[in-house]
Amino acid sequence: MASTVDSPTSSCVSSDAEEEAAAVAKPMVVVGCPQCLMYVMLSEAAKEPRCPRCKSPSLLHFLHGAPADADANANRQGNRS
């Protein structure tokens, strides 16, 4: 008779599930680079977002059309209108 082999609890399938449960989702934003004409997703928490291709700091928010660092500057200045 064939014996059954139990997979150990440290198998790759069980460890992958544990890693996914422990991972915390970080908010992302879509920005466009006017020099590369490329859209990228970057972490919203990035202090100085730059294009991953050309390293340009002048990125535009996809939905707002404003520079990527404009929201941070507006929050610091109290949203003057």
How many residues would you count in the chain? 81
Q: Would you state the structure tokens that stand for residue 35, as one six-digit string?
A: 């020099």
Strands (E), the chain: 28-33, 38-43, 60-61
pLDDT tens column, 48-70: 999 999 999 999 988 876 666 65
Residue 32, strand partner residues: 39, 60
Question: Of 11-15, 26-30, 35-39, 73-77, where does the model show the most confidence?
Answer: 35-39
Global pTM value = 0.49
Q: Quick check: 42 and 26 in contact, CB under 8 A?
A: no
Mean pLDDT of the 28-54 span? 92
